[in-house]
């Protein structure tokens, strides 16, 4: 993977917070009629707010991988844009706005967190983005409020791209370190979403959503060359 190719793709699919979102067209009554959905949006916003902490830790670990550090720098910008668009939407409809003090408190709890293994970090990140994309597409279909539907769809498309770049980075890492295939599969079988560092229950997908599970199975099997055990499906379900 080349940084220039990824940057070109990012620029081609880039959406603008102020001009591509129809803020004046938001219908608060429709939004407020789905509080469960808004709670998931809020938790997702808090998870995205953690990436200014997560990304420097990843950069420290992957410092000698020029492509990885370049791609994660783009990812940080996009993830924080996700936080901002979700937070601004919640404020606009008047549902549990997020304040700086809450974000700071969540970050403070994880200031000690340091990943130590590139293969495991890339596996965890790739899988987190896969399930996040799947979840956002699902919630976009369920949203009654049209602007929220649009926002969720835009964010989901970004997460698909993040998942793909992490998958390619992981594939390159395994090619250079084939002895770490077992570490990748172990991390997958004991998957914990990055959002678990932030919120108690991560809104990633519905329980027993086997389409999402089979999708990640295919990705991992392609890059590891291993048939994945039934245990992986049991854990992810």
Read off the tokens for 227. Answer: 């048939």
Under CATH, what is the fold of the domain 28-236? Answer: Ribonucleotide Reductase, subunit A (1.10.620)
Average pLDDT, the chain: 88
Nearest Cα residue to 187 out of 233, 156, 232:
232
- Give pLDDT tens digits for 19-31: 999 999 999 999 9
Query: How do the domains of the chain map onto residue ranges?
Result: 28-236
Q: Is the pTM of this model over 0.95?
A: no
Rounded distance between C-alpha atoms, residue 83 and residue 41, angstroms? 10
Rounded distance between C-alpha atoms, residue 189 and residue 127, angstroms? 11
pLDDT band, very low/low/confident/very high, at 230 (cuts 50, 70, 90):
low
Contacts for 84 with CB less than 8 Å, ≥ 6 apart: 17
Q: How many CA atoms lie within 13 A of 236 on its CB side?
A: 27
**Mean pLDDT along residues 45-72:** 93
**Mean pLDDT along residues 62-74:** 91
Rounded distance between C-alpha atoms, residue 18 and residue 21, angstroms? 6
């Amino acid at each position: 993977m080349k940084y220039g190719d990824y940057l070109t793709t990012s620029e081609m699919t880039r959406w603008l917070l102020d001009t591509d979102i129809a803020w004046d067209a938001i219908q608060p009554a429709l939004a407020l009629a789905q509080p469960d959905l808004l709670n998931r949006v809020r938790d997702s916003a808090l998870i995205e707010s953690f990436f200014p902490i997560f990304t420097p830790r990843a950069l420290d670990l992957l410092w000698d991988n020029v492509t990885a550090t370049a791609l994660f720098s783009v990812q940080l910008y996009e993830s924080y844009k996700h936080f901002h668009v979700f937070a601004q939407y919640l404020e606009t409809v008047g549902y549990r706005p997020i304040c700086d003090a809450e974000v700071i408190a969540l970050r403070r709890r994880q200031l000690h967190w340091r990943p130590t293994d590139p293969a495991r970090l890339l596996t965890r990140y790739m899988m987190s983005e896969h399930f996040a994309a799947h979840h956002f597409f699902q919630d976009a279909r369920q949203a009654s409020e049209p602007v929220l539907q649009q926002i969720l769809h835009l964010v989901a498309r970004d997460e698909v791209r993040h998942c793909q770049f992490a998958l390619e980075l992981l594939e390159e890492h395994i090619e250079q370190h084939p002895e770490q295939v077992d570490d990748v599969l172990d991390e997958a079988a004991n998957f914990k979403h990055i959002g678990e560092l932030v919120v108690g229950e991560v809104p990633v997908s519905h329980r027993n959503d086997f389409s999402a599970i089979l999708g990640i199975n295919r990705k991992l099997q392609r890059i590891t060359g291993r048939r994945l055990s039934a245990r992986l499906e049991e854990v992810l379900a």
